[in-house]
Structure 1
């Protein structure tokens, strides 16, 4: 499936900053962390602003963690900002301000998991590794296994399956990784796949079988956001980001009516290192 996917990708791929020639490895690392559970359209302007302010890991490491969290704004899951700041510090201090290329070295960075490490090695440096996200898993499940949904993630199996379609050539392998990912994001989508626009429709096992309904285990769904602790955490974080002085406990109380849930959300922010302080002195973003 590699050749038609790569041909399609080179003709139809979106023009995104991290795909442009000369885009730095640091930018690739930042983009991959920002893209975790966040839509591309929301990431692009935040990424460009971030790299203008902090063009190298050392630039970010020189700023307090609070500034990273503040600049993260409403991208969601702000612990990613703290992890990125911590990773930048290690890169600046231990890797000469250069994002490492080796997957194991990348995995040793704070907050960097297997997907991000492989993505940086492939998309920043052109090395040959399988890269698997939810879009890739869906394409592989349909095209190769004849299943409408990929089911729960199984890292070793998923990587082996992606490895099986990678060409030996490094450039073609990198393009295959990117192409399958783009195909899953734009064409082979979860609810209404555009099979007529798919470059591998004629060799898709799921299509050939008549699109059978999925009868196996399903991937877990994300919990509802409205009314959740995540929403309350986000509201409190917005207050902290907007203030240069500690936010009083009375001001925090205004963001959400349920005192028990509000206290639970605030305590979790302190526990996660996203806020510091107490009821007597007020709360603020972490100063490092």
Structure 2
């Protein structure tokens, strides 16, 4: 296993982007919220939403005191709005189980609604400074290329955590930097479509580069097109209900001109099933 930690740490200290969640004292709640928002959403879109969210709800207890509808409304156009509902439920659980303090232990974090392996370890490592491997899509690509000599990573697996753990230094603070550096490298240098090997701090130790950048195939799951999709219809329904400002709308008044009535109804039914919309007496509203 090549030593990747030392050059990653040096590179990150010089080149890391100035992002809100990397500021000293940002806190575990801010870290948790940012990680929820960053799932499948670009950084540039997240930052203004994150700032608005933390101004409104600076603690889990503050969010838990408001109805779920407030969280779904504040989520606005970030996409995948179930994350807003899950984050609200997690805030309630943090208030009720942990006296309003985001837990530190990975198992406690995993027990919260909407939190998986990545988010739990990200909070433990970045907010609390504990030594854990943290693996996201960018990290997996860096490891696939630098260690395994593959152009793209395979499907996510539990082995990803072991692969990341293998390159972490023993020191907890340095381990946190390596976790962040691997993600950053994948986001801005070792990108999926155009790896910039000339700017890479570990190019001289990269198995993929040494092999001549072979195309080893791409088994990543492709995201379905948004335009014309059920996801777009769901978003339109939620946008209409957000505009109702706490009031219910008649079912027939929610995106009545949608080009595909069957898709509209399917979107509403799925939102009700997900708990994002409540139906009563022929009306629809955000959850309370």
Q: What is the TM-score with the length of structure 2 in the denominator?
A: 0.97
Work out whether residues 240 and 255 of structure 2, in 8 Å CA contact, stay in contact via their aligned partners in 1: no
Change in 2 beyond 3 A, CA 1:42/1:147: same
Structure 2 residue aligned with 1:55: 58
Structure 2 residue aligned with 1:18: 21
1:201 aligns with 2:208: no
1:160 aligns with 2:162: yes
Give the Å deviation of 1:255: 4.9
1:103 aligns with 2:103: no
The runs of at least 4 consecutive aligned structure 1 residues that moved more than 6 Å come to: none
Work out whether residues 126 and 174 of structure 1, in 8 Å CA contact, stay in contact via their aligned partners in 2: yes
Give the Å deviation of 1:36: 0.3
Change in 2 beyond 3 A, CA 1:123/1:37: same
1:83 aligns with 2:110: no
| Partner deviation per Cα, 1:184-204 (whole Å, 9 max, x = no partner) | 000000001111100011111
What is the aligned length?
284
* SS of match in other structure, 1:145: coil
Structure 2 residue aligned with 1:173: 175
User: Take 2:72 and 2:156, find their aligned partners in 1: how far apart are those partners?
Assistant: 30
Structure 1 residue aligned with 2:185: 183
| Partner deviation per Cα, 1:144-185 (whole Å, 9 max, x = no partner) | 00000002112x211111011000000000000000000000
User: Take 2:90 and 2:160, find their aligned partners in 1: how far apart are those partners?
Assistant: 27
Structure 1 residue aligned with 2:286: 285
Provide structure 1 residue ranges, at least 5 long, that are not aligned to the other structure. none
Work out whether residues 168 and 175 of structure 2, in 8 Å CA contact, stay in contact via their aligned partners in 1: yes
| Partner deviation per Cα, 1:24-46 (whole Å, 9 max, x = no partner) | 10000000000000010011110
| Partner deviation per Cα, 1:216-242 (whole Å, 9 max, x = no partner) | x61111111111100100011100111
Give the Å deviation of 1:250: 2.4
Structure 2 residue aligned with 1:230: 231
Provide structure 2 residue ranges, at least 5 long, that are not aligned to the other structure. none
User: Take 1:60 and 1:169, find their aligned partners in 2: how far apart are those partners?
Assistant: 35
Structure 1 residue aligned with 2:47: 44
Structure 2 residue aligned with 1:142: 145
Work out whether residues 28 and 123 of structure 2, in 8 Å CA contact, stay in contact via their aligned partners in 1: yes
Work out whether residues 253 and 259 of structure 1, in 8 Å CA contact, stay in contact via their aligned partners in 2: no
